[in-house]
Amino acid sequence: MKLNLNKVILSLITLLSLFAIFCSISIGMSWDEPQHHFNGAIRANYLKSFDFGKFEFSGGWAQFHPGLYDTFTFIIVDLLLKIFPEKLIEIRHLINLFFSFLTLIGLFLISKKNFNKEIAYLATFLCFINPFFFGHTAINPKDTIICFALIWFAYSVYMYCVNFDNKRLKFLILASFFMGFGLGTRASFFVITAPIVLSALIFIIKNKNRYRDNKVFKKIFFDIFIFGSISFSLMILAWPYVHADFGVLLETVINSTKWIAGPIFEMMNGNIFETTNIPRTYFLSFFIFRIPIFTLILLFSLFIFLKMDRKFFSLKFSNFKNKIIVILCIILFPMLLATAMQVKLYNGIRLFLFIIPFVSLLTAICFYYILENFKKSIYIKTLLGVVTIFFLLFIQRFIYLTPYHYDYSNFLYPKFVNTQKLHIHDYWATSYKELMKLIGKNSNIKKINTDFCGGDPHGIKYLANKYSGGKVTFVPYEQADYIIMINTLSIHPDDNSTCFSARPGTNILEVKRLGVIFSVLRKLDK
Q: Quick one: pLDDT at residue 503?
A: 95
Question: What is the separation of C-alpha 317 from the centre of its chain, rounded to a whole number of angstroms?
Answer: 30
> Which amino acid, residue 191?
V
Rounded CA-CA distance 80/383 in Å is 49
Tell me, what DSSP letter sits at residue 449? E
**Backbone phi, then psi, for 451, in 5-degree steps?**
-105, 180
Strand partners, 472: 448
Distance CA 526, CA 509 (A): 19
- Name the DSSP class of 209: G
**CB-side neighbour CA atoms (13 Å) of 407:** 32
pLDDT the model gives residue 378: 93
Spacing of C-alpha 341 from chain mean position: 21
Report the SS3 class of residue 257.
coil
Report pLDDT for 133. 99
H-helix segments, 342-409: 356-372, 378-400
Residue 58 carries which side chain, given as an amino acid letter?
Answer: S
Nearest to 321 by CA among 378, 359, 375, 365: 365
**Which of 141, 200, 174 has its CA nearest to residue 350?**
141
Give residue 405's Cα distance to chain centre.
12
85, amino acid identity: P
Please tell me the distance from the alpha carbon of residue 318 to that of residue 186, in angstroms, as a whole number: 34
Residue 259 sits at φ, ψ, to 5 deg, of -60, 125
pLDDT for 166 equals: 84
Least Cα distance to 424 among 486, 368, 338, 380 occurs for 486
Residues 274-306: tens digit of each pLDDT: 998 889 999 999 999 999 999 999 999 999 999
CA distance 150 to 180: 11
- Asked if residue 66 lies in contact with residue 187, where contact means CB atoms within 8 angstroms, the answer is yes
Q: Could you give the CA distance from residue 211 to residue 209 in angstroms, rounded to a whole number? A: 6
Q: DSSP code of 478?
A: G
Q: Report the SS3 class of residue 359.
A: helix
Beta-bridge mates of residue 203? none
**Burial state string for 281-316 with b = 16 or more CB within 10 A and e = fewer than 16:** ebbebbbebbbbbbbbbbeebbeebbeeeeeebeee
User: Mutual orientation of helices 356-372 and 378-400 as an angle, nearest 10°?
Assistant: 140
User: By three-state DSSP, how is residue 202 classified?
Assistant: helix
Q: What is the pLDDT of residue 51?
A: 74
Number of helices (H), then strands (E), in the chain: 22, 7
Residue 270 falls in which region: left (phi positive, over 0), alpha (psi -120 to 50) or beta:
left
AA letter at 2: K
Beta carbons within 8 Å of 165's beta carbon, 6+ residues apart: 211, 212
pLDDT in tens, 457-484: 999 999 999 999 999 999 999 999 999 9
Specify the pLDDT at position 1.
Answer: 53
Half-sphere exposure of 383 (CA within 13 A, CB side): 24
Distance CA 102, CA 91 (A): 17
Question: What type of residue is 117?
Answer: K
Residues of the chain with pLDDT under 50: none
For 371, 411, 436, the CA distances from 393, given in Å and listed in that order, are 21, 8, 31
Cβ atoms of 107 and 41 within 8 Å: the answer is no
Instruction: Tell me the C-alpha distance between 475 and 237, whole Å.
Output: 40
Looking at residue 112, its pLDDT comes to: 98
Which pLDDT score is estimated for 403?
Answer: 98
pLDDT reported for residue 3:
65
pLDDT tens digit string along 11-45? 999 999 999 999 999 999 999 999 999 999 999 98
User: Residue 332 burial (CB < 10 Å; 0-12/13-18/19+)?
Assistant: middle
| CA proximity to 348, closest of 287, 292, 400 | 287
> In 115-167, which residue ranges form alpha helices assigned H by DSSP?
117-129, 131-136, 143-162
Query: What is the Cβ-side half-sphere exposure of residue 341, based on CA atoms within 13 angstroms?
Result: 16
Taking the C-alpha atoms of residue 133 and residue 405, their distance in angstroms, rounded to an integer, is 9
The model carries a pTM of: 0.95
φ/ψ of 429, rounded to 5, equals 60, 30
